[in-house]
Chain A
Amino acid sequence: MRLLQLNNVQKSYQPGIPVLTDINFSLDRKECLGIVGESGCGKSTLARCILQLEGLDQGEILFEGTPLQDKGEREIRPYRRHLQTVMQNPASSLNPKLKIRHSLMEPFRQYGAQVSLSHFQHGSEEGMARQLMEAVELSPDLLSRYPHELSGGQKQRISIARAISLEPALVVLDEPTSSLDVLTQMSILKLLDHLRDALDLSYLFISHDLLAIQALSQKILVMKQGQIVDRFEKGDLFADERHPYTQQLISLFD
């Protein structure tokens, strides 16, 4: 059974202006699927639909075979543990008034007692926090700091630690490296790759940056104006028969 399957997904915010048209794809466990596209092509809307933050106009989203799209907030809640995300802007992903410890442990405090974890030992909350900090290669001293005392890269690592804290099945990475400098981007990508192996995660990696996507993903989809215009395996990126739009994207980093 597929971990995530989207069938014929349609979405529009205003009638007559479709944001997503006929989106079909599927994702297996431990796989990383990249979605590349320019700003405004609907990739973030797609992420919000998968994360059950937006309803669909048509189509279905299956998580391990269960359709999620018609469920109410209460019914969705048990699934949220497995649908985690890391967002683009590390500065606004953490509440500036709360200490890092508080933001980091939010999912654990919400679900911690109910879930069984295989990689982390969830004894005490403090022990869990330390394990998470170790997993994203940060000093546990940062736990008692406020977000504005951390760098962008550190904040993004905290967001990642929070997203993986309950060992979710799927992490939607919505431009996780776009607001970071090149060196930090590379270290974050390396960390994400390592965590996927260590924790058996699946990623849906959404970005406008084909290079970043290529570094992590086995399969890549190209989105343009709310539609998937091209799909290929990682190795076939530079094959000649690519869609013209894909070739245009490739030409950008020559």
Chain B
Amino acid sequence: MSYKMPMGPYHPALEEPYKLDMICEGETVQDAKLHIGFNFRGIEHLAETRNYIQVVALMERVCGICSNIHTLTLCQAMEQLTGLTPPPRALYIRVVMAELERLHSHVLWAGIAAKLMGFKTMFMECFAIREKVMDVLQAISGNRVNYSMNRIGGVNRDIADPLAVLGMVEQLEREMVSTIIPIFTTSTTARSRCAGIGVLTHEKAVSCGVVGPTARASGVPQDLRRAAPYAAYSELEFKTPVEEAGDVRARLLVRALEIMETCGILRQALAKMPSGPIDTGEAKVVFSAGTAVSRVEAPRGEVMYSVSWKENSRNPARVHVRTPTFANMPAIRYMVMGARLADTPLIQASIDPCYSCTDR
């Protein structure tokens, strides 16, 4: 006889409120239903009441983990409408911020995944290393979470001494190589807990349209930094790690390899950073009427902003956000079908869900 197991929305194991209804047969999950919307703050509507400077500060608060990515995407869309082109140094600074954010997001995810595996030591270790990433972010922007680095036509703050930041990044890379990566790739505890569970096959990944590390772990080699380069990514060399297995371990490996690639991108970007101004210096910007679309590869996958503007308006007519978790959510259902009940928290965390982005 099957029974329904409700979990959430305000549940101690979850960082964010959402509700998961699982239909179980004994210990096996037959089906799952995900209810979201507990974090709905009406940001898209609020954006229509804010002017082009306020809307950047508002959109930064869509998500506290990938705050920089949201302003980057919004600013890119607004730059298309104003016709401004950021100077090369600003583009490199945007790459550095985006990659540092990817680094801290992946390490944070590794910590949460370790906690869900019951590997508390690793959780603490990940957060200790994450603090060092936060130090670099704080050294550049002065803040730990909402960096407010992006503006229309450039960035707000310069990286005065890229080589000093380079030293910090290299030390960070050494720590990643010596602790996080080996534990997640070779530890038998981690392997026994995540190999073969939550499998998302290649066909299902394509039909669900998953994005980001979830797609790359199922053998879909998609990466917007390569497919549709933005900022300065076309001038940097990096690989896109792809795994074929599609289980939680594959997602773990993809993120571990991405941490290494990110360190490589950071080293290149900091070494190659051109000199010059960091913004266009326009005192007043004029928007042309129309709709602009911008896409960016966030730590969790593709973020898309569609920004509409009316003639002679200071406020956007519409700001629409499509977040990676929205694309990845339907896949959770296929991952948990047939899984053991005890594995479901780890499986749903393996897509790195961010419901505050998705609900807005």
A-B complex is real: no
